[in-house]
Amino acid sequence: MADEQLTTIGRCHVCKRTFAFVPDAVTTVMIDPETGLPPGFTVLGTFREPTPEAVARSVREPVCPACVGRAERFRKLAAPPAPRLDPWWRGES
C-alpha cells in the first residue's frame, strides 16, 4: 500500500475530457493563463522567445494519453523522412 500512487481526476487541456491520472507521471504542457497559449506562442501559431514574466506565470496543465498519441501521429505525418538521393555518376567522357 505504501508504494501505491494517488490517482487524480482532471480535465485534459487539449480535448477537455475528464480522465484519471497520476500527477507525477502525466504528460503536461505549460500554459500562460493570460493568453491561454504556451509561453512564446502567438495566436497565429508562430513562435517567439517567451518573456520571463510569461514563463513565471505559466502553469502546467495535464494532457490525456489519447491526445498525446494523436500529437505523435501528427508529428510523424507532418515531418516525413527525407527522400533518399542516389549518388550521381558522371558518364564516360
Delimit the domains of the chain by residue range: 8-78
Residue 7 binned pLDDT confidence (cut-offs 50, 70, 90)? very high
Question: Do residues 60 and 30 make contact, with C-beta atoms less than 8 angstroms apart?
Answer: yes
- For the entire predicted model, the pTM comes to 0.71
Helix/strand/coil for 26: coil
Looking at residue 6, what DSSP letter applies?
A: P
pLDDT in tens, 25-57: 999 999 999 999 999 998 898 999 999 999 999
Check residues 73 and 1 and name the one with the higher pLDDT. Answer: 73
Per the prediction, the chain carries an average pLDDT of 89
Upper half-sphere CA count for residue 4 (Cβ side, 13 Å): 5
Q: Are strands 18-21 and 27-31 parallel, antiparallel or unpaired?
A: unpaired
pLDDT computed for residue 69 by the predictor = 96
pLDDT computed for residue 93 by the predictor = 58
User: Would you mind telling me the total number of residues written for the chain in this entry?
Assistant: 93
pLDDT computed for residue 28 by the predictor = 95
Question: Do residues 19 and 12 make contact, with C-beta atoms less than 8 angstroms apart?
Answer: yes
| Contacts (Cβ under 8 Å, ≥6 apart) of 59 | 30, 31, 33
d(CA 93, CA 77): 43
